[in-house]
Structure 1
Amino acid sequence: MSPVLLPPGPKGHFIAGNLVEFSEDPLGFLTRCAREYGDVVRLGKTNYLLNRPDLIEKVLVNGDGNFVKLAGLLKGKPRKGGFPEAMMNSEGDDWLRKRRLVQPAFHRKYVSACGETVVSLTERMLESWRPGEARDVHADVSALTLDIVSRFLFHTPIHDEARHVAAAVDAVMRHTDSPLRFPIWVPTPTNLRLRRALGQLNGLLATLVRRYREHPSERTDLLALLLSSPEPLSEGQLRDELATMIMSGHETTADALVWAWYLLARHPEAKQRLEGELDEVLGERAPTAEDLPRLRYTEAVVKEAMRLYSPAWITSREALRDCELGGFHVPAGTTLAVSQWVTHRDARYFDAPESFRPERWLSEDAQRMHRYVYFPFGGGPRLCIGAALAMLETVLITACVARRFRLELAPGCVVRARPALALQPLGVRLIPTPRSRVERGNEVRHAAGA
């Protein structure tokens, strides 16, 4: 019998292991571990970190059925968390049934049809911007993406009730920004805030469902699909599905947009090239979904921002049975983490990995890279169901903003990343300056001459 070979990793404290160091700086800790210990790192007795694309693919694609997201559900353990009945908090056949129920709402034709709404709502947001006034753009774009996703999911804008969703998102982020946290039933200030916010969100969603039932119509949105299911869903199931879709569907998109604008503000050459493409393709008009194939550099800006600051910065699976990965033994029950933050910044796969270079996505090298070198929306069967909608939103909104405004960082602006449930940009304040028609005309001529 060959000896059991365990992967290398930081020794950690004899009681707390590496938990304290991870909690103090998750992004830095994982990056150091990958650089010092290699492709398979033993973070603890039952926790590994995987940093090689083929291993990441094996775990996320899960062709042999050995790696699952929520192993406890398959073992009969009760669901935990704020939305236990939602698809993303399900496993096995239950997850597959819910995925098939939800999938038609995200069909390509419905996503493309959303483009007009995205642009009109973005233009409305931009009308409120005042030249030279420093803005909390995360608040602006969070309200925008919430409006977009609510219209997409159930054709109903959320205005007065938006504060309940915002409070729930903030409470969840505060609850998840550290691994050292108490169970939700413990009455800590953070948990009390979370429970109160989730209760208000549940009340809002119950009201929306009731209104929808009172005025039924022939629609193809998510709520219509859920209500017309051959297997009737309970009120709790309806609310959980809607809650996870609303919260994840608007917060991660808002985060991606703010990171993109932050990076453009720090890189004038990329900003100028983006403006040149928009002026050449669009001229004086607003973008549409039909313009997306021609907005290649705009898309590259978005992809590069999500490479450096992927809102989904880490995910994991659990091994159901003993197996081997990268030549190392993986015991059953081991949690296998894969980190977009770490892999997206690996010098083996990206030249100058810490640099913001949108043009890298326009080269032939980008077409040849391993699929799991870059995975901002996860991968495998549990690939983010809203990935296409998120890309359409992010590219169109970026185009709308850069067509009309040049954004600069406000003086004294201190920006940091908060790795909670999503990678949030904290402290980003930007000053919008309108772009003149003369500027836009000059850039069109410059682009044509190039």
Structure 2
Amino acid sequence: MPQLAQSFKQLPTPKAHWLLGHSGQFSKNPLQFLCDCEKHYGGIVPLRLGLSQACSISRPDYIEEILKERLVFVKNTPGWRAIRTLVGTGLLTSEGDFWAKQRRLTQPVFHHQRISDYASTMVRAAEQLLEIWQDGATRDVHQDMMHLTLDIVMQTLFNIDIAGPEAQKISHALDLCMVWFSRRQKQGFAIPPRFPLPATRRYLAALAEMDAFIYRLIQQRRENSGDSGDLLSMLLQVQDEDGSKMSDRQLRDELATLMLAGHETTANALAWTWMLLSQNPEAERCLWEELDRVLAGRVPTMADLPRLTYTQQAIDESMRLYPPVVLLARSATQDYVLDGYTIPQNCVVLMSPWVMHRNARYFSAPKCFQPARWQGDLKKQLPKCTYIPFGEGPRICIGKSFAQMEAVLILATLAQRYQVRLVEGQAIVPFPSITLRPAQGIKVQLVRRGG
């Protein structure tokens, strides 16, 4: 009951700087800082980021409650305002009735039968990468995965080939956005998103080029109506209950969202998976045994997915250790009582899949790569919102099935033919921006499998 609620400021909290609060600790190493908060201070930890009130939440039931209360806890934090410069008000960032309408309009595009039609596109793109890979070659496997998933996004979204300059404009804009966002995050988002700093000008110029391409393509499709089999054609055709369709701006924002979510996150998940397999020979051997048994040298198809269980478990375990998105942030639109403590209006609520996934309360040997832990019903046994690589609640990622299918098919196609060995002497450092990238890539030597 509200009258019995206590201020959450009474809860234990790390020592703060008199002016900056916890901003310095958070900016220096946000993932470690949030892990330390959970370990030493509990499930609700009051924080101050500059002049802004914030808190870290790390209990599954608390996270579940916050994600369900989507009208109370909204995406109106400084970080989300920065992300909106890239994706506008697409499904990822919109709120309230507008979000509900966009979800209704977009949902049919991700129907199971629709996305299964793209399985052959995904495998074919992976086979084209195999034509480039050579035994003994040194590659940046993160860059290869980024290029591969961009190829798939361009084909499934727009039905165009990655070789064109448009794809490079998109890749360039996304790269600049990640660097720009990370810098702003380290600065505590104190500077307005469009303040004309040099990095901001470069990013916005690249974004303008990307937008020009997207709007030009939308216009061409409107003039030549028809279903070309890609996601843009489907989005152009869907209509709401009142007969309304998406405007050009809505289409642009959803397409930008799908490019970010469908390109960045899957590429990063695969890159971290390659690294972890190289570091864990026993897991790698189990993967090969399954691929040899199920596929026997042929390329995978949609029909093989139910039998590629260890392949899926390897992806699941990789996303546990290196979740594609490491921080979920919300802002409270009003005072809200959570388990007897009042979270004040405008408080920024931080929830971290990285923290949850590496918590020894829920995962044995939490820092170890053990795909077999996912055998059986572990996902069902875990408290809800413990394992959240795709988010949870009403706003769980709409492209979850697409991304899971893509990751398994790519890994199965490539790992049948090659193993990777990490190049010695490199420092592989997680770079927490909008997504979790390796800061300097992941350099590997390719070793062709025998036979």
TM-score for the superposition, normalised by structure 2: 0.91
Deviation of 1:286 (Å): 1.0
Are 2:142 and 1:138 equivalent residues in the alignment?
yes
Structure-2 change in CA distance of 1:71 and 1:435 (3 Å): closer
Distance 1:329 1:199, change over 3 A: same
Determine the structure 2 residue equivalent to 1:204.
213
Cα distance per residue 1:300-321 (max 9 Å; x no partner)? 0000000000011111222233
User: Paired residue for 1:62, among 54, 57, 69?
Assistant: 69
Q: Does 1:184 align with 2:193?
A: yes
**Which stretches in structure 2 are left out of the alignment for 5+ residues?**
none
Check whether the contact 2:55–2:350 (CA below 8 A) recurs between aligned residues: yes
Residue equivalent to 2:397: 384
Query: Partners of 1:9 and 1:134 in 2: how far apart?
Result: 46
Cα distance in structure 1, aligned partners of 2:246 and 2:413: 39
Equivalence for 2:40: 36
Counterpart contact for 1:105–1:220, Cα < 8 Å: no
1:333 CA drift (Å): 2.1
Shift of 1:387: 0.7
**1:162 equivalenced with 2:162 (yes/no):** no
C-alpha offsets along residues 78-116 of structure 1, whole Å, 9 cap, x if unaligned?
A: 995233232322110011111111111111111112111
SS in 1 for 2:337: strand
Question: Does the 8 A contact of 1:304 with 1:356 survive in 2?
Answer: yes
Asked if 1:341 corresponds to 2:360, the answer is no
Question: What's the counterpart of residue 442 of structure 1?
Answer: none
CA contact (8 A) 1:264 1:270 kept: yes
Whether the 8 Å contact between 2:5 and 2:337 is mirrored in structure 1 is no
Displacement of 1:2 in angstroms is 3.9
Aligned residues of 2:136 and 2:445 also touching (Cα < 8 A): yes
Q: CA 1:119–1:430 in 2, change beyond 3 Å: closer, same or farther? A: same
Percent of aligned pairs with the same amino acid:
39
Q: Which moved more, 1:221-230 or 1:275-284?
A: 221-230
Determine if contact 1:175/1:191 at 8 Å carries over to the other structure.
Answer: yes
Q: Does 1:21 align with 2:21?
A: no
Q: Which deviates further from its counterpart, 108-117 or 415-424?
A: 108-117
CA distance in 1, matches of 2:157, 2:209: 19
Q: Does 1:215 align with 2:229?
A: no
Provide closer, same or farther for how the CA distance between residues 85 and 54 of structure 1 changes in structure 2, counting only shifts above 3 A: closer
Of the candidates 253, 274, 282, which is equivalent to residue 287 of structure 2? 274
Q: Which residue of 2 aligns with 1:443?
A: none
Greater shift after overlay, 311-320 or 19-28?
A: 311-320
After superposition, give the CA deviation of every residue in 1:187-207 in whole Å (9 maximum; x if it has no partner).
Answer: 212101111110110111122
Q: Take 1:54 and 1:85, find their aligned partners in 2: how far apart are those partners?
A: 28
Does 2:6 match 1:4? yes
Is the CA contact 1:143–1:162 (under 8 Å) kept in the aligned structure 2? no
- The reply to whether residue 116 of structure 1 matches residue 125 of structure 2 is no
Query: Residue 114 of structure 1 aligns to which amino acid in structure 2?
Result: Y
Please say if 1:252 is aligned against 2:265: yes
Aligned partner (choices 364, 380, 386) of residue 373 of structure 1? 386
Q: Name which of 174, 177, 185 aligns with 2:179.
A: 174
Q: In structure 2, what residue type is equivalent to 1:413?
A: Q
Supply the distance in 2 between the matched residues of 1:367 and 1:88 (Cα, whole angstroms).
26
Distance in 2 between the 1:292 and 1:320 partners? Answer: 43
Structure 1 range deviating more: 297-306 or 200-209: 200-209
TM superposition shift of 1:5: 3.6
Which residues of 2 match residues 204-243 of structure 1 at below 5 A?
204-219=213-228, 221-228=230-237, 229=239, 230-243=243-256
Q: Which moved more, 1:6-15 or 1:269-278?
A: 6-15
Rounded Cα–Cα distance in structure 2 between residues aligned with 1:2 and 1:79:
38
Q: Tell me the residue number matched to 1:445.
A: none
> Secondary structure at 1:372's aligned position in 2?
coil
CA contact (8 A) 1:122 1:144 kept: yes
Q: Deviation string for 1:384-441 (max 9, x for gaps)?
A: 111110000011111111100011101222211000000002330111111112xxxx
Describe the SS at the equivalent of 1:371.
coil
* SS of residue paired to 1:135: strand
Pair 1:88-2:101 in alignment:
no
Question: d(CA) in 2 for partners of 1:78 and 1:54?
Answer: 29
CA distance in 1, matches of 2:124, 2:82: 44
The question of whether the paired residues in 2 share the 8 Å contact of 1:201 and 1:243 is answered with no
Shift in Å, 1:133: 1.1
Offset, 1:48: 1.1
CA distance in 2, matches of 1:71, 1:170: 22
Answer whether contact 2:379 2:387 (CA < 8 A) is retained: no
Q: In 2, distance between residues paired with 1:284 and 1:98?
A: 42
Of the candidates 306, 318, 331, which is equivalent to residue 318 of structure 1?
A: 331
User: For 1:313 and 1:79, how far apart are their aligned partners in 2?
Assistant: 15
Q: d(CA) in 1 for partners of 2:437 and 2:322?
A: 9
Counterpart for residue 289 of structure 1: 302
Equivalent pair of 2:13/2:47 in contact (CA under 8 Å): yes
2:413 matched residue in structure 1: 400
- Pairwise CA distance, 1:37: 0.4
CA spacing shift, 1:61–1:389, aligned 2, 3 Å: same
* Counterpart for residue 351 of structure 1: 364
Please give the alpha-carbon distance, in whole angstroms, between the structure 1 residues aligned to 2:12 and 2:74.
Answer: 24
In the alignment, structure 1 residue 431 sits paired with structure 2 residue 433: no
CA distance, structure 2, for counterparts of residue 274 and residue 151 of structure 1: 28
Question: TM-score, with normalisation over the residues of structure 1?
Answer: 0.91
| Offset at residue 71 of structure 1 (A) | 8.2
Paired AA for residue 85 in structure 1 = T
Report the residue type matching 2:181 in the other structure. Answer: T
RMSD value, Cα: 2.1
Say how many residue pairs are matched: 432
Query: SS where residue 317 of structure 1 aligns?
Result: strand
